[in-house]
Amino acid sequence: MAEVEDEVAAPPESTQEVEGGNAIRQPHNLERKWTFWFDNPSKSKQGAAWGSSLRQVYTFDTVEEFWSLYDHIFRPSKLPASADFHCFRTGIEPKWEDPECANGGKWSVSSSRKSNLDAMWLETLLALIGEQFDDNEEICGVVASARLRQDKLALWTKTASNEAVQMSIGRKWKEIIDTMEKIVYSYHEEDLDHVGPTMGPKST
């Protein structure tokens, strides 16, 4: 746990430019900037408001930085129970209250095995930074949550009321994470009561 925090506090140096003989290798720029966040509520003071331990950790916009960060730090299997890793488009906070998320919701999937969670997280990150969704503008980010009961992964989107877009994103995400588990959509504003469409193992 402390280990994760320490590592998160000291991200590796980016490998933006490497000299090889006379040539300078250029980094591969991503379409957009992304930010990793970390939250460990178990380290908060008792009674602290939700989000008080949520912090922005590292922003990146090249393929090289992404791999360096992923390899060194951002694997959900390293998370202590009750902690979360987030990767969101830079400028969007991973909170229901953020204006980009306020009318949104999330597709969620449970994972009973740490290795599955790591694999689904990586596939989702690659899809996000590679802009693989038809409605890329709709995507806010992804959250990996380590929980005592069952770990979870959630893909946050912007316009929960646009069912056609959400169904298309859900279908694509299910294909990307290649899971037999059911994925479920829920609205942030009614997070506790409103459960939206689900996609079982046979849906595509």
Residue 95 found at the interface with ligand MGP (CB under 6 A): yes
Q: Which stretch binds ligand MGP (CB under 6 A): 58-66, 91-99, 114-122, 132-140?
A: 91-99
Q: Which of 76, 93, 85, 10 is nearest to 40 (CA)?
A: 85
Q: Tokens in use for 182? A: 């059911």
Nearest-approach distance from CB 83 to ligand MGP, in angstroms: 10
Q: Which stretch binds ligand MGP (CB under 6 A): 9-17, 27-35, 67-75, 92-100?
A: 92-100
**Closer by beta carbon to ligand MGP, 50 or else 67:** 50
**Closer by beta carbon to ligand MGP, 96 or else 173:** 96
What is the spatial distance between Cα 141 and Cα 125, in angstroms, rounded to a whole number? 9
**Closer by beta carbon to ligand MGP, 86 or else 174:** 86
Q: Tokens in use for 58? A: 């590292």
Q: How many residues bind ligand MGP (CB under 6 A)?
A: 6
Instruction: Give the burial class of 174: count Cβ atoms within 10 A of its Cβ; 0-12 exposed, 13-18 middle, 19 or more buried.
Output: buried
Q: How many CB atoms lie within 10 A of CB 49?
A: 8
Query: Which phi and psi angles does 203 have, rounded to 5°?
Result: -70, 155
Mark 21-50 with x for binding to ligand MGP (rule: CB under 6 A) and - for no binding.
-----------------------------x
What is the DSSP-derived secondary structure letter of residue 156? E
Nearest-approach distance from CB 23 to ligand MGP, in angstroms: 46
What is the footprint of ligand MGP within residues 162-201 (CB under 6 A)? Answer: none
**Closer by beta carbon to ligand MGP, 147 or else 172:** 147
Query: Which phi and psi angles does 118 have, rounded to 5°?
Result: -60, -45
Answer for the pair 120, 174: CB distance below 8 angstroms, yes or no. Answer: no
- Interface residues toward ligand MGP, by CB under 6 A: 50, 95-97, 145, 147
